[in-house]
């Protein structure tokens, strides 16, 4: 068991080292997009399935509450939390539209829509990104592996260099924490 734990930790470290060496520019670009959105009084809208749904909620909570500073709340929405909306859309239409319909109702130009999918293949996440683009809204993808359709469709994509769902999710929340820390530092300087 000790060796397995070491292997898992080393694999996680390796993925983050690859991000360190190859993805800093994408992290900066996305962070600047988020900062500009929030500085201009707009909101960040996040969504994904399973662990990516949890990541969406986690990042939204850090923006609304606080990351490390007591400060004014920042507008962020995770589209994964309203069970009545999710189940009615799934029942009346299909699960594929649960994010697209919410974006149609809640998003506006100036907002930033962040779709999270470890494979980049989630049909509902891709539909949400396509809906945002149709409305002229800036889109960001957090994904992994080769990025799938999501990386090709979004305006900016950060692809975690791994095929392991667990390692990709670990990297996504680390990246989310980086966004939150830099947003706080830039918006609430001083």
Query: Which pLDDT score, from 0 to 100, does residue 113 have?
Result: 98
Q: Give the integer Cα–Cα distance in Å for 138 and 54.
A: 22
Per residue in 18-75, pLDDT (tens digit) is: 999 999 999 999 999 999 999 999 999 999 999 999 999 999 999 999 999 999 999 9
Per residue in 110-158, pLDDT (tens digit) is: 999 999 999 999 999 999 999 999 999 999 999 999 999 999 999 999 9
Estimate the crossing angle of helix 51-64 against helix 165-187, to 10 degrees: 10
Query: How many distinct structural domains can be found in the chain?
Result: 1
Domain extent, residue 128, equals: 2-187
Q: Give the integer Cα–Cα distance in Å for 15 and 47.
A: 23
Query: Which pLDDT score, from 0 to 100, does residue 26 have?
Result: 96
Q: Which residue has the tokens 């470290």?
A: 13
Query: Which pLDDT score, from 0 to 100, does residue 190 have?
Result: 59
3-state secondary structure string, the chain?
A: CHHHHHHHHHHHHHHHHHHHHHCHHHHHHHHHHHHHHHHCCCCEEEEECCHHHHHHHHHHHHHHCCCCCCCCCCCEEECCCCHHHHHHHHHHCCHHHHHHHHHHHHCCECEEEEEECCCCCCHHHHHHHHHHHHCCCEEEEEEECCCHHHHHHCCEEEEECCCCHHHHHHHHHHHHHHHHHHHHHHHCCC
Report CA torsion sign: 58, 59, 61, 65. positive
Per residue in 179-189, pLDDT (tens digit) is: 999 999 999 98
Tell me: pLDDT of 6 over 70.
yes
Query: Which pLDDT score, from 0 to 100, does residue 189 have?
Result: 82
Per residue in 161-177, pLDDT (tens digit) is: 999 999 999 999 999 99
**Domain CATH for 153:** 3.40.50.10490
Per residue in 79-97, pLDDT (tens digit) is: 999 999 999 999 999 999 9
Confidence of residue 102 (pLDDT cuts 50, 70, 90): very high
Confidence of residue 100 (pLDDT cuts 50, 70, 90): very high
């Amino acid at each position: 068991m000790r060796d397995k734990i070491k292997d898992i930790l080393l694999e996680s470290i390796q993925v983050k080292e690859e991000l360190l060496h190859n993805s800093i520019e994408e992290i900066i670009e996305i962070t600047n997009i988020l900062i500009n959105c929030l500085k201009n009084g707009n909101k960040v809208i996040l969504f994904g399935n399973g662990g990516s749904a949890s990541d969406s909620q986690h990042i939204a909570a850090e923006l609304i509450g606080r990351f490390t500073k007591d400060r004014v709340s920042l507008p962020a929405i995770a589209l994964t939390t309203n069970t009545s909306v999710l189940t009615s859309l799934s029942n009346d239409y299909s699960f594929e539209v649960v994010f697209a319909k919410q974006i149609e109702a809640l998003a506006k130009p100036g907002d930033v829509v962040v779709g999270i999918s470890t494979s980049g293949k989630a049909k509902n996440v891709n539909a949400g990104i396509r809906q945002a683009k149709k409305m002229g809204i800036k889109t960001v993808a957090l994904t992994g592996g080769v990025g799938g359709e999501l990386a090709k469709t979004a305006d900016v994509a950060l692809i975690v260099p791994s095929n392991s769902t667990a390692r990709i999710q670990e990297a996504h929340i680390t990246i989310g924490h980086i966004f939150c820390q830099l947003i706080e530092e830039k918006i609430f300087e001083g």
